[in-house]
Amino acid sequence: MMYYIKLSAILFLICAVAAGILAYVNGITDPRIRKIQEEKETATRAELIPEADFPEVKGTLDTTFVYQRAIDKKSGELKGYTFVASRSGYSSVIKTMVGVDTLFNVIAIRVIDQKETPGLGANCTAEKFTDQFKERDISRLVLDKDGGGEGAVVSIAGSTITTRAITSSIRITLEKLQAEIKAAQGGEQ
């Protein structure tokens, strides 16, 4: 009996030391990781809609939904919105940052986080794929494999699930954004 208590105590001790070290390392690195993440997001936003500031807005219908208004740095005019669309793809949650103009046509997209299959799904970050989203409105955010017909988003061969996740996440989140903006405007009037 004593023997097993001793074993448990040793294991507990080792785990406690490991947990302590991990907590310490996390304490130092976490603020830096957050800062790097934020800087990266700001940089991506500036790539999507240049020359703008991005004040963040919280949704009123869905309070977990966050988007940014793109305000022109010089004139102060509203140029559009940016938001992050996410959905699980083939082997990871794919996050895409989307910039749209005031009429909700896509300006550009960037895949900011994905862990899809290297050589297949991971190719979704390539400009060859993301550039086809430019100037699309919500009705044309459909994949060719899903009956999009002519002018649909062309999926990457062997990566339909990845490309479908990106296309549909953008469409769904854009619908959400439209509803939020409508609600916000209704409130102002």
User: Interface with other proteins by CB under 8 A: which residues?
Assistant: 6-7, 10-11, 14-15, 18, 21-22, 25-26, 28-30, 32-33, 36, 115, 117-120, 157-158
Q: Output the smallest distance, CB 24 to other proteins, in A.
A: 10
Q: Output the smallest distance, CB 188 to other proteins, in A.
A: 40
Select 76 or 119, whichever has its Cβ closest to other proteins: 119
Select 11 or 66, whichever has its Cβ closest to other proteins: 11
Select 10 or 93, whichever has its Cβ closest to other proteins: 10
Report the 10 Å Cβ neighbour count for 19.
Answer: 10
Q: Output the smallest distance, CB 23 to other proteins, in A.
A: 11
Select 24 or 77, whichever has its Cβ closest to other proteins: 24
Q: Output the smallest distance, CB 33 to other proteins, in A.
A: 5
Contact assessment for residue 112 and residue 44, using Cβ atoms and an 8 Å cutoff: yes
Residue in the structure block whose two tokens are 């990457």:
156
In order of 117, 143, 166, 170, the CA distances from 114 in angstroms are 9, 19, 10, 15
Q: Output the smallest distance, CB 166 to other proteins, in A.
A: 18
Q: 57 burial class (0-12, 13-18, 19+ CB within 10 angstroms)? A: middle
Q: What are phi and psi of 84, to 5 degrees?
A: -110, 125
Select 14 or 66, whichever has its Cβ closest to other proteins: 14
Select 30 or 77, whichever has its Cβ closest to other proteins: 30
Q: Output the smallest distance, CB 163 to other proteins, in A.
A: 16
